[in-house]
């Protein structure tokens, strides 16, 4: 079965620290991968996505993620976090099957990031 796993439930950092959130997936075939962010009391917003091509993906707000096929990983990184990055982060994936699969995402459990000023 397809699955997405996030190993860190809660990460606490100080401002300016570097961030790496882990995400692993299990899919057969070609996979599309995403990172979403949910700020307190808000809906999910897309940070970045990987469909094909360059495995290093740049997203909004200085975030990036690297697709490593051999490790089935798609970790999210940011070199220097800010207090405003405090949020919950979700990794998600889907099989690259087009059509009705567009939004049929499998989400990880989420990682809460708390950044202290």
Partner 1 sequence: DAGITQSPRHKVTETGTPVTLRCHQTENHRYMYWYRQDPGHGLRLIHYSYGVKDTDKGEVSDGYSVSRSKTEDFLLTLESATSSQTSVYFCATAGTGDNSPLHFGNGTRLTVT
Interaction site with partner 1 (CB under 8 A): 4, 6, 9, 34, 42-46, 49, 51, 90, 92, 98-100, 102-110
Nearer to partner 1, 87 or 108 (CB): 108
Report the nearest approach of partner 1 to the CB of residue 58 (Å).
15
Nearer to partner 1, 76 or 92 (CB): 92
Distances (CA, A) of 108 to 33, 84, 94: 11, 22, 12
Strands (E), the chain: 3-5, 10-14, 19-21, 24-26, 31-38, 44-50, 56-58, 64-68, 73-78, 87-95, 106-107, 111-116
Please give the Cα distance from 74 to 90 (Å, whole number).
11
Report the nearest approach of partner 1 to the CB of residue 65 (Å).
14
Report the nearest approach of partner 1 to the CB of residue 116 (Å).
22
Nearer to partner 1, 9 or 69 (CB): 9
């Amino acid at each position: 079965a397809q699955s997405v796993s996030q190993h860190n439930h809660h990460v606490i950092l100080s401002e300016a620290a570097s961030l790496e959130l882990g995400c692993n997936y299990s899919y057969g075939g070609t996979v599309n991968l995403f990172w979403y962010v949910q700020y307190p009391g808000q809906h999910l917003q897309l940070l970045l996505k990987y469909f094909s091509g360059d495995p290093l993906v740049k997203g909004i707000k200085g975030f990036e993620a690297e697709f490593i096929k051999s490790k089935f990983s798609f970790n999210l990184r940011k070199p220097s976090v800010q207090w405003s990055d405090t949020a919950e982060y979700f990794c998600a994936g889907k099989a690259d099957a087009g059509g009705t699969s567009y939004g049929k995402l499998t989400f990880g459990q989420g990682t809460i990031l708390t950044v202290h000023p």
